Chains A and B, each alone.
Chain A
């Protein structure tokens, strides 16, 4: 990368908790994450690790109650989103930062035509006449591979892949600076997945949008991401460029993720899943959160949380284990 990218979003020590009747669930526990202009950052981790919570915190659309942002900063273009007034954050939502949701089947309003829902997003942020709004919505739909005749169709008349493309079109219609893509391909079958990723990367190039790609699919990460953050129990346990993570992974959890992928060249026909479960976020252990499942765990890991350990220019890991003894 020869050009110097400017910082677009900087998350510092973000803490999010959910309060249930008798427990406090620690969903996000002190996350730091930077996203540069035009860059795609992957957020990888298993279900319940706090990925979606992070994305929703950035837009401040977490349901409150039960969710509460307890601490940290989310600085977007120099301003802390968490300190903004309601109107300020509303003018950013959908305009400068927009989000693609996990399940395209339920992300569209079933009683409003797809075209109208996209035109609505335009109308909220740009002063255009009704027909100009419609024109713009049709343009983005066509870019997403949906013909203009489908403008007046309702979501139930769309196939799953079309719905997801419509959702992506809706997120990109105001050419946002940052796109939060929450598992954009999880609900789709593999052929459609490839199409959708292709389309996203084309649109991303055209609008020069930064992307936070939330996924648990390492294939998607390899395909799209410049940098990768591996998240476990609400903490980023390893961060680096895609190359760092794929070729020089250091955290036992990251290694475990790769180990659990099927290897076609290997004789061994069985998958190697990471044994055990992610700790209950209501009762997190005192030391390293991965302690119970870690093959290299030592007494030290049990009692103290490992700090960031730098491995390269942008590569860091939160683990005491470095190949030898701890």
Chain B
């Protein structure tokens, strides 16, 4: 257990350079971006004085280094993400309001992907070369190849417009979450199913599975306990890499369904050269992503005892 605590502390400390690195990178990209925020916000007919005043107010007249240092200080020491160029409102406040929507959609999406993908993979693997296996492979191939926004639109068309049982836009009731979550989950579920299938196929040929059967264990538990515990190890990696895609998908879905999450905010920030908004959104998404990876690493160590002894 002591090993585990040390491992955890090490992993959490690693978050610091990652976040700083991402911040510097995004800041630099935005700095180098063509297009002057002042002209963007005030319009082309603004006078020189107005432009200068705007630049001075937001510190745009200072050098790259000074701006970077000031902005990092504010973000990481005071947790102040600055003001939006457009509205003048605090970016931090907006992020706080919007974060729950994005988290909800992403995490329900991942949970759905896992809940659909793993059983599907197990069914395929334990019925290898039967129609169940072929069907599972076919469905997951279809789902991986399909862009999530397209699938979202199909769902909207069918359940929203034709059957009229689900809202097509907004998240006023829980029903509004169904289509966005399913749409974000579908690609991930397919990937997880394929990985579960292939690692399960490998695991059920192992000697310890025969040992478990020879003990007199029930087939269901041989697969679900002895098999799954080992087969899950590579699946966790896939879940991790799906995380990145899922966050991306949820951004798209937020736009399609007008959900006031971080994704919609980020895209509006990009479109209007609202740099503090972009920076704030990216840093928060990066933090969420890193923390999720941290949780996955912990799950790894719980599932695989060999890993625990290395740390």
- CB < 8 Å neighbour of B215 from A93, A106, A111, A157: A93
- CB of A94 within 8 A of CB of B229, answer no
Give the residues in chain A near B230, CB-CB below 8 Å. 109-111
Is residue B218 within 8 Å, beta carbon to beta carbon, of the partner chain?
yes
At the interface with chain B, which of A26-34, A97-105, A218-226? A97-105
A90-124 residues with Cβ-Cβ distance < 8 A to B are 90-95, 98-99, 101-103, 106-113, 120-121, 124
Which residue in A110, A125, A156 is a CB contact (below 8 Å) of B208?
A110
Chain B residue numbers with a CB within 8 Å of A158 are none
Instruction: Enumerate chain B residues within 8 angstroms of A107, measured Cβ to Cβ.
Output: 207-208, 210-211
- B13 adjacent to chain A (CB < 8 Å): no
Chain A residue with minimal CB distance to B227? A109
Q: Majority SS of interface residues in chain B?
A: helix
Q: B213 — which chain A residues lie within 8 A by C-beta? A: 59, 61, 93
For A61, the closest partner residue in chain B by CB is B213
Q: Quick check: is B267 within 8 A (CB to CB) of the other chain?
A: no
Is A154 interfacial (CB-CB < 8 Å)? yes
Q: Does B226 contact A (CB under 8 A)?
A: yes
- Tell whether, in the assembled complex, residue B218 and residue A90 are in contact, meaning their CB atoms are under 8 Å apart: yes
Contacts of A95 in B (CB 8 A): 216
By the criterion CB–CB under 8 Å, are B211 and A101 in contact? Answer: yes
Which residues does chain A contribute within 8 Å of B217, judged by CB atoms?
Answer: 90, 94, 120, 124
Separation of A253 and B306 alpha carbons in the complex (Å):
46
B303 adjacent to chain A (CB < 8 Å)? yes
Is B32 engaged at the interface, CB distance under 8 Å to the other chain? no
- Counting chain A CB atoms within 10 Å of each CB, the highest count among B208, B213, B216, B306 belongs to B216
How close is A166's CB to chain B, nearest CB, in angstroms?
A: 11
CB distance from A10 to the nearest CB of B (A): 21
Contact A61 B216 (CB under 8 A): no
Q: How far is the CB of A49 from chain B (nearest CB, A)?
A: 20
B305 touches A101 (CB 8 A): no
B44: CB under 8 A from chain A? Answer: no
B212 touches A109 (CB 8 A): yes
CA distance A54 to B303 in the complex (A): 35
Residues of A within 8 A of B304 (CB): 110-111
Tell me, rounded to whole Å, the shortest Cβ–Cβ distance linking B305 to chain A.
4
With a cutoff of 8 Å between Cβ atoms, the chain A residues found around residue B210 in the complex are 56, 61, 101, 107
Q: Does B214 contact A (CB under 8 A)?
A: yes
Interface status of A170 (Cβ within 8 A of chain B): yes
- What are the interface flags for B178-219 relative to A under an 8 Å C-beta threshold, 1 for contact and 0 otherwise? 000000000000000000000000000011101111111110
Q: How far is the CA of A56 from the CA of B207 in the complex (A)?
A: 12
Q: Is A99 in contact with B214, judged by CB distance below 8 angstroms?
A: yes
B2 interfacial by beta-carbon distance below 8 Å: no
Do residues A121 and B216 form an inter-chain contact, with CB atoms below 8 A? Answer: yes
CB distance from A162 to the nearest CB of B (A): 16
What's the minimum C-beta distance from B228 to chain A, rounded to whole angstroms?
10
| B215:A94 contact, CB within 8 angstroms | yes
A106 neighbours in B (Cβ, 8 Å): 206-208
Report whether A156 and B215 are in contact in the complex, using a CB–CB cutoff of 8 Å: no
CB-defined contacts of B216 to chain A, threshold 8 Å: 90-95, 121, 124-125
Q: How far is the CB of B174 from chain A (nearest CB, A)?
A: 37
Contacts of B145 in A (CB 8 A): none
- List 5 A–B pairs whose Cβ atoms lie within 8 Å, in order of A's numbering: A103-B207, A106-B206, A107-B210, A124-B216, A154-B306
Among all A-B residue pairs, the 8 with the closest Cβ atoms: A94-B216, A93-B216, A94-B215, A106-B207, A154-B305, A109-B208, A111-B229, A121-B215
Chain B: residues with CB nearer than 8 A to chain A? 206-208, 210-218, 226, 229-230, 303-306, 309
